[in-house]
Structure 1
Amino acid sequence: MSEAFVLPCSPSILRPDRFDFVSSDAPEVPFWRILTCILAESLNSVTDSSSLIDTLETISVVLHGEAARNYQVLYVNVATSSRPCLATAIFIPEPLHPPLKSEETSQIILSRRQAACLVVHLFLCSLPAHPWQTESFVNLSPWYSAGEAMHQGAVQAYLTALFTYFEAIASEPDSGILHHSVEDWPVVFTSIVTPEDQSHALLCNAPASLSRLAVVQLPHQSTDTTYLGLPDGACVISANKCVGLGATGTQEELHVGISPEAYPVTLLAPPLKDRQVLICQGAEAIVTTKGHGRWASLDEILHGRPRPSSDWRNRVMLFMDALELDLVDHAHPNGGENIPDLMPGYLHRELVKAYTAFCSHRYRNTRKPYPFVTTGLWGCGAFGGNRQVKAIIQWYAASIANIPELRYVLGGAEQEVFGDELKRFVDRVAEHTGRELEPRKLFDVLVRLGTDIQNRKAAVPEPDEIFQYVLKSL
């Protein structure tokens, strides 16, 4: 079992009282005692960006021995928004039960107050390092300083979501976010692991009909509520195996960044394993964004607009990481460029990952299959996956998970070409084989092709010819 994540209130975290907050002669005192003094003082002293950053620097010096070097982005965004973010008295954590397990299915259920508490500590950078090796962040500091790895439009959207969230907590202490009991509105993090013996049996239990695949093409990528899996579906988050936060505007970062109650996802799980996915249910999106990466930016502020609260309570985010195929040698022994996605072991790994996510409804109260799942170019950006192979894998996984509809949402001119290819492929599958086609046959073509390429019995198709090859093989 993984070592538990340590919260700031743990008596095991001892630090020197550098600024004599607790007036102790001991060389080290519990960090929590110092932190509560800093926070109590800050409730009166923090009035603008400079005093807020002074508080963050003090916490950093006490916990880490040094202050962060650059708060430029945070300073500008707090100053321009004029949003008080420390007006909330929610700094005392309630009991938690971290971490999620890597080898078996497990779950952590938080109240909205508990989730808010963790968000505040992420913002204050008052959490100790993870007890396991990871690339995930335990604070929001990547959003605070300017640099080449930070895309300002995306970060501005995240900070707007964060401070709007803090404002809502401060302005509605008795009737807003913190008012909900854990029974009324839980924020649930579930680690789902498909047992190895079950993962090898997937192909033997395939149903007889394909899910409907609908292609939605947008002028630009968007996190509008229409594309978040609301009200009763689910949305694929193209995650890193170390899930969570960042400052570069990836699809994962955008979906998490607009939803503060999802931020704790970065704290609660060690890096994902091959047969494991992470599910977040109940995180309310505070803003929406448009664009992606360097071109991502704030679109609209959602909080305060009329929308059934049940939509957010039931919101499901499916964190599933794809293989990092950009790290695989693409050179083929016979010359030309290989398609690593087609290696049989890789195909099965991606199928199990997607199937595990699409079947996650089994661990919710309703236990009914999602009526639809929203997805997109999973693992096909920086990870170097083949768009056509990944689309077939997800279509097959949705079919064997009994998902009635898979919604492929694509945005921008660059993805429009693939969207047209995918629609033509789906239409031709229906036209030439009918919906009676067993989903397994689509996947079997990929497996045979991968095996033949590996055994040098077949040439490697061009990356954009997989759909054509599959249609001919059917």
Structure 2
Amino acid sequence: MGTEKTWSGLSLTDIYRGKGPWSFSISSVEPSRYHYVLYELPANLQHPPKPHQSSQPFLWDNDHVRMPFSEENLYPLKENGTDVIKLRWTVIQEALSLPINSVNQFEAALNKYNMSLPKFQLLHYFFTEVLQEDESQHFFKTILPRIIKLALRLPELIPCGIPLLAQNRNRSLSLSQLQISCLLANAFLCTFPYKKSVASRYPGVNFISLYSSFERVARKQCICEKIKCILNYFDRITQQEPTGVVTFERKMIPWSNMPKWNTLEDKLGDTRVHISSTGTIEDASGFLQVDFANKNIGGGVLRYGCVQEEIRFIICPELIVSRLFIEQLNGVEAVKIIGVERYSSYTGYGDTFRFSGNFEDSTPHDLFGRRRTSICVIDATKFNKPRDQFQGAMILREVNKAYVGFSCREKENVAPIATGNWGCGAFNGSKQLKTLIQLIACTAAKRDLVYYSFDDEDITKDFYEIYLFLANNQVTIKQLWSILGQFTRSSLNEEKLYPFIKQAYFDSKKQPTISKYFTKEPNSKRGPLEPVPSSSTSKTAPLTVNRSPEHKPSTTNPKKTKLEEELVEELLSSLSEDIIPSSQPETPVMKKFTKLSKVKTKKSSETIVDMLPDTDISAIFDMLDGNANKSESTKEEEKMEIDDYEHGHKGAKNKITDYFNKINK
């Protein structure tokens, strides 16, 4: 028997367009005012590139990482009973030069150049209860001395400091893998100075919190497994120096430059998809792989966290260094990281996470010396009340965030997005909504979508079905955006979102407009008041639509006198009722017209036809139909509507007003 198919949509071969995973376009490494390169070009992969030298070191200011070896990094201590101030780097060198053969001595060494450290309870547990005696001895006699030696090379390998990738700036930073390993060795030894004002905005890389994370008993084992991954990384890079480079890019798009989602005519079916219940994002070769991030990059990787982002950072430890210089993300920012190497294999997730051995990364390098692994860091919103995510502002925030992460300068041959249930775990996101949000962002960014549902066969099936519906009916971003707005105003549960979209789409197709009441089809036996009948081919059970009790569409051909009495009331009542309510609040134009619609009609000896103004009123109603059914409208568009109403149609407005005044007499 053949294995059961676990994916829908196009095959990965088709997603690769038959050219394989390494054929997509790549960004370059070019030093500029927007791209800081801390090594000498080019990187040839034969040996680690040389560090870049600069006349200005930038070791201790507000725009750069405060380096441990800076002359401004001072440390107070007592010597022979006297208070003295020494260079902290000197204290670090002295403390790490002493023999360290046990976890107690390791903790004592770090306390010599750090104030008020917590007890390293987890680290004590790791070396006394988890590792075998020979494994502990190998660490203290072999691995740790190599880590210390690498860490103390910091002034040599990064002599010019590291620029901060601060908020609201599009900036990139490229480092060699050897430079990154040196920074991580210092993080392992907790040498980076702590400053409270900086710590609130930058997550930090010192491993102190990891060593002391002992309060959550259920996570004790998985934290030990994370330390195993870290030690495996150091064991490898201290034996053989890595020769590649890594680029970290902070991306932001101002709100004013974001797409106007309610106007985009891009068809969602133009985005090609592959949806699978098996596989993982980190194995999606050649694609832009999404990191389900925390706004503080890396999340709880150096604490109790052990889900998607933390696992990715722990098996690719070079990602952890980003916590040193990437400021907390705001709502219109994302990070792209190119070139990291994977070092560890794993099994499980959360409490069941386990290190399962060394991993040899076979990903090829690009022309600039980077592994062809690209990661998109986007943080979802955490919803304490899941229903809140269907508010218009929340949907807008999430789709903007995804779009920033998915967009790129390259316009041709861009890599597909490899993603999954973004923000749908501890952040309580709706899988149905997040699939659509990411599909919208992919379509706008002109990228294909590869979706891993993490063994959720239901969402694999349901997402593909709604994708086919959107594609077959050529639904645009604009149309879907309008329907999402309607769902926002409904009281339906989130699992009804997909059926709601189908029903709302068909309802929008059969919605009559006012002009139909003024146009009688040739050879039609239907009365002027009867809407054109339509039928839906949808197999979806119709959603309940609340209708006003007084609205009863005519189903028979009334007598002429009855028509004259009820025409205006029937006509205007149809203005205020949409089968699919508008996703835009009532515009000033419609508010003014609604006031007119509340006039009560009286019987008159004159016929309605005789009283109709000379103006082509059906054209006016066509205009009003367009405004009433508009899915979205910006403030500027509303102002234009008011001006247009007041000036361009003043004569028509006066005639309509006179007309109703005449009826009331």
8 Å CA contact 2:261, 2:477 repeated in 1: no
Given that 1:74 and 1:143 are in contact with CA atoms closer than 8 Å, whether structure 2 keeps it comes out as no
State the AA in 2 paired with 1:247: Y
Contact 1:73 1:143 in 2 (8 A): no
1:171 counterpart SS class = coil
In the alignment, the residues of structure 2 paired with residue 129 and residue 368 of structure 1 have an alpha-carbon distance, to the nearest angstrom, of 44
Query: What are the ranges of 5 or more consecutive residues in structure 1 without an aligned counterpart?
Result: 331-338, 454-458
Instruction: Note if contact 1:248-1:293 (Cα within 8 Å) is conserved in structure 2.
Output: yes
Q: Tell me: CA distance 1:289–1:468, structure 2 relative to 1, closer, same or farther (3 Å).
A: farther
Matched, 1:64 2:115: yes
Task: Give the match for residue 183 of structure 2.
Answer: 118
Asked whether the 8 Å contact 1:109–1:187 carries over to 2, the reply is yes
Secondary structure in structure 1 of the residue aligned to 2:232: helix
SS in 1 for 2:236: helix
- Is residue 34 of structure 2 the alignment partner of residue 13 of structure 1? no
Kindly provide the amino acid, as one letter, of the partner of residue 234 in structure 1: L
Deviation at 1:125, TM superposition (A): 1.6
Corresponding pairs, count: 422
Are positions 1:232 and 2:286 aligned together?
yes
1:189 alignment partner in structure 2? 248
Q: CA deviation at 1:379?
A: 1.2
Closer, same or farther: CA 318–2 of 1 in aligned 2, 3 Å: farther
Higher relative contact order (CA 8 A, sep 6+): 1
Match of 1:419 among 457, 460, 465: 460
In the alignment, does 2:391 pair up with 1:343? yes
Q: In the alignment, does 2:476 pair up with 1:438?
A: yes
Q: Structure 1 residue 229: deviation in Å?
A: 5.9
Question: How far apart are the structure 2 equivalents of 1:109 and 1:135?
Answer: 19
Residue 265, structure 1, aligned to residue 316, structure 2: no
Distance 1:161 1:403, change over 3 A: same
Give the match for residue 336 of structure 1: none
Partners of 1:61 and 1:67 within 8 A in 2: no
Contact 1:358 1:373 in 2 (8 A): yes
Q: Displacement, 1:118?
A: 1.4
Deviation at 1:153, TM superposition (A): 4.9
Tell me the SS of whatever aligns to 1:85: helix
**What is the deviation of 1:462?**
1.1
Q: How far apart are the structure 2 equivalents of 1:8 and 1:160?
A: 26
- For structure 2, list consecutive stretches of 5 or more residues without a partner in the other structure: 1-60, 506-665
Q: Is the 8 A contact 1:110 1:187 kept in 2?
A: yes
The alpha-carbon deviation at position 400 of structure 1 amounts to 0.7
How big is the shift at 1:66? 3.9
Give yes or no for contact 1:354–1:397 (8 Å, CA) kept in 2: yes
Corresponding residue number in structure 2 for 1:408: 451
* Counterpart-to-counterpart distance in 2, 1:312 and 1:229: 17
CA distance in 2, matches of 1:206, 1:33: 63
**Amino acid across the alignment from 1:465:** K
Q: Is the 8 A contact 1:112 1:187 kept in 2?
A: yes
**Does the aligned pair in 2 maintain the 1:154–1:249 contact within 8 Å?**
yes
State whether residues 369 and 402 of structure 1, in contact with CA within 8 Å, keep that contact through their aligned partners in structure 2. no
Match for residue 133 of structure 1?
A: 200
Decide whether aligned partners of structure 1 residues 9 and 135 sit closer, same or farther in structure 2, where only a CA change above 3 A counts: closer
- SS of equivalent residue, structure 2 residue 144: coil
The more displaced of 58-67 and 188-197 is: 58-67
Matched, 1:308 2:364: yes
Query: Closer, same or farther in 2 for the Cα pair 1:247/1:98, shift >3 Å?
Result: farther
Superposition RMSD in Å = 2.8
Change (3 A) 1:307 1:271: closer
Give 1:85 shift: 3.2
State how far apart, in whole Å, the 1-side matches of 2:116 and 2:210 are: 21
In structure 2, do the counterparts of structure 1 residues 86 and 468 end up closer, same or farther at CA, with 3 Å as the change threshold? farther
1:98 equivalenced with 2:163 (yes/no): yes
**Partners of 2:339 and 2:265 in 1: CA distance:** 31
Q: Aligned residue for 2:84?
A: 27
1:75 aligns with 2:127: yes
Distance 1:234 1:300, change over 3 A: farther
Change in CA separation of 1:395 and 1:3 when aligned onto 2, cut-off 3 Å = same
Which position in structure 1 is the counterpart of 2:145? Answer: 86
Q: Which moved further from structure 2: 126-135 or 244-253?
A: 126-135
Matches within 5 A, 1:239-258: 239-244=293-298, 245=301, 246-258=303-315
Offset at residue 148 of structure 1 (A): 0.7
Q: 1:199 and 2:264 equivalent?
A: no
- Over the matched positions of the two proteins, sequence identity in percent amounts to 19
Q: Distance in 2 between matches of 1:441 and 1:154?
A: 46
Q: Assess, with a 3 A threshold, how the Cα gap between structure 1 residues 466 and 209 changes in structure 2: closer, same or farther.
A: closer
Q: Is the alpha carbon distance of 1:204 and 1:97 closer, same or farther for their aligned partners in structure 2, counting shifts above 3 Å? A: farther
What is the distance in 1 between the residues matched to 2:106 and 2:170? 39
Shift of 1:29: 0.8
Amino acid at match of 2:291: I
Distance 1:135 1:382 in 2: 22
2-structure distance, mates of 1:143, 1:348? 36
